[in-house]
Chains A and B, each alone.
Chain A
Amino acid sequence: MSERYEIRFSGSGGQGLILAGVIFAEAAAIYDGKNAAQSQSYGPEARGGASKSEVILSDDTIDFPKATSIDLMLALTQEACTKYCGDIKDGGTLLADEDFVRDIPNGNFKAIRLPIIRTASEDVGKAFVANIVAIGAIAALTGRVSREAIEKAVLSRVPKGTEDLNRKALAAGYELVERRTN
């Protein structure tokens, strides 16, 4: 198992986190030509409840498709953050929404707080593209997928007519990270 990298996208049902995982996996597997597996876990509710989607990246065949030792976890809600952060590995990263995750649980990981949902609703103009803002931020933070691949994957999976909005959301996600590191 060489170089397995595990990402978990978590939040509330309806925030598009499964789609976020699919897009990330598609960028890596199809457009960047690596191995990727995406899986999901959700309750019977269509909206609400804690929801998660996971992406495993590897140079090797991926047998176990679920995350067990997470390199990076996204949390868009407090509930998901509290419920799912226990699987972050020592030295891993928690990327939490600055407004919706108030309490960062204790753990041997690095916490990064970014205004993902606020950026989507105020800067991009639609709260529902928060998942795409998050993808941009994660792509920038991890460097695990190329920008070209992630952009192609986003545009191939979003509804027709929303391409500009989603391109803007992705760029806003990258900028959140770039501004932070500058």
Chain B
Amino acid sequence: MSRARLLQGNEACAEGALYAGCGFFAGYPITPSTEVAEHMAKKLPKRGGVFLQMEDEIAAMAAVIGGSLAGCKAFTATSGPGFSLKQENLGFAMLTEVPCVVVNVMRGGPSTGVPTGPGQSDIMQCRWGTHGDHPSICLTPAYVQEIFSETVRAFNLSEKYRTPVIVAFDEVVGHMREKIEIPEAGALSVVDRTKPICPPEEYLPYDDSQGDVPPMANFFEGYRYHVTGLNHGPDGFPVNASPRIHTDQLRLLRKVEANRDDIARNVEYRLDDADVAVFAYGICGRSAKAAVDLARAKGIRAGLLRPLTIWPFPEAQVAALSARARAIIVPELSLGQILFEVERCSKGRCRVEGIHRVDGDPIHPAQILARIQEAL
């Protein structure tokens, strides 16, 4: 039976992973994400899963890829410095199409930065952190209940599209506690990767003739195949200077681009008649919602667009908003990252203004309210 519990965001993230059927966690503890690992260490072995603390974040990401290839839904959690270390293997998982979930509980950066304070300055790293053209799916929950459900969704998207999925939130929502209800098994859908139906000797791990997401065989179930970070052909072996590279790279992007409607999730709050809109995610999304309520109480028509999927970016929603609002305000715990995405999609149709804070404290509703009033 589902019942209300007071859980920390990080604990809810681990509970979401367990609900989604995660069987393998490898990680290296780092503030402010450590409670995700602690919770997995407590719970996962009791469910027959494996918890591994590795020697560092690079190895942890490598282990996650191995765990997933072996058939487990695999998961790691980290923060800025550790997220930087994971980038190389994150790119490997994208090119080799290995499903996995990477949680980044953002703190202040660069480098060791502010370990115990919230940040949002890794958000472009969530999009472009690893080198090369590549797709990115990144989910940005803001409430403890959402951290649970978006972590489940991250596993589902990762299995469905054979790609790593990032869940990015910040120290405030990672560490804060509020009431959540964990749904009963079956209440939320859980997606498993599609396995091949052909016999092992006919299996081609990257054969895209039947669709953009080739079926994935688990290791140790009789299917043998080659996994390489080099561009590869349908059989998984390297190809060089081949048109296949171009078409395959396009396919990797298309897996995400062509399925935006399935991947995207946004919360629109009091936006219908809004003169001033706020675009915010994570803790800033929570502050912004409070600010919108304060503005409405003063008779100001303000509204909020809060993406739960920040990558791929909600381009159409921002474009539509820019056509009807006088201004879009972008509060973020960085010196200006997501602001540029909003500007890009607004194409000069309305004013776009940032509120930036990186001193280890969140942006308060009063700060956003003041800017809403100025923007009128």
Contact residue among A30, A44, A68 (Cβ-Cβ distance under 8 Å from B116): A44
A16: min CB distance to chain B, Å: 15
Is A62 interfacial (CB 8 A cutoff)?
yes
A144: min CB distance to chain B, Å: 16
How many angstroms from the CA of A40 to the CA of B362 in the assembled complex? 12
Given contacts A29-B6, A68-B364, contact A62 B116 (CB under 8 A): no
Structural contact, A66 and B362, CB atoms closer than 8 A: yes
Is B293 interfacial (CB 8 A cutoff)?
yes
How many angstroms from the CA of A132 to the CA of B365 in the assembled complex? 32
How many angstroms from the CA of A144 to the CA of B173 in the assembled complex? 24
Contact residue among A38, A40, A43, A64 (Cβ-Cβ distance under 8 Å from B286): A64
Is B115 interfacial (CB 8 A cutoff)?
yes
Chain B residues positioned under 8 Å from A43 (CB to CB)? 116
Is B176 interfacial (CB 8 A cutoff)?
yes
How many angstroms from the CA of A48 to the CA of B11 in the assembled complex? 26
Number of interface residues of B (CB under 8 A): 24
Structural contact, B172 and A29, CB atoms closer than 8 A: no
Structural contact, A25 and B177, CB atoms closer than 8 A: yes
Structural contact, A30 and B6, CB atoms closer than 8 A: yes
B113: min CB distance to chain A, Å: 11
Is A82 interfacial (CB 8 A cutoff)?
no
Structural contact, B286 and A63, CB atoms closer than 8 A: yes
Structural contact, A29 and B287, CB atoms closer than 8 A: no
Interface size class of A (residues with CB under 8 A): 20 to 34
Structural contact, A29 and B116, CB atoms closer than 8 A: no
How many angstroms from the CA of A62 to the CA of B173 in the assembled complex? 12
Interface positions of B from 325 to 376, Cβ below 8 Å from A: 362, 364-366
Interface positions of A from 124 to 166, Cβ below 8 Å from B: none
B1: min CB distance to chain A, Å: 15
Interface positions of B from 102 to 122, Cβ below 8 Å from A: 115-116
Identity of the chain B residue whose Cβ is nearest the Cβ of A26 in the assembled complex:
B6
Interface positions of A from 58 to 92, Cβ below 8 Å from B: 62-66, 68
Q: Which of A38, A41, A43, A63 has the most CB of B within 10 A?
A: A63
6 nearest CB pairs, A to B: A39-B176, A63-B290, A38-B177, A64-B290, A63-B289, A29-B179
Chain A residues with CB under 8 Å of chain B are 1, 22, 25-26, 29-30, 35-44, 62-66, 68
Q: List 29 A-B contacts (CB under 8 A).
A: A25-B6, A25-B177, A26-B6, A26-B177, A29-B6, A29-B178, A30-B4, A30-B5, A30-B6, A35-B179, A36-B179, A37-B176, A37-B177, A37-B178, A38-B176, A39-B172, A39-B175, A39-B176, A39-B177, A42-B116, A43-B116, A44-B31, A63-B293, A64-B364, A65-B176, A65-B178, A66-B172, A68-B364, A68-B365
Chain B residues with CB under 8 Å of chain A are 4-6, 31, 115-116, 172-173, 175-179, 283, 286-287, 289-290, 293-294, 362, 364-366
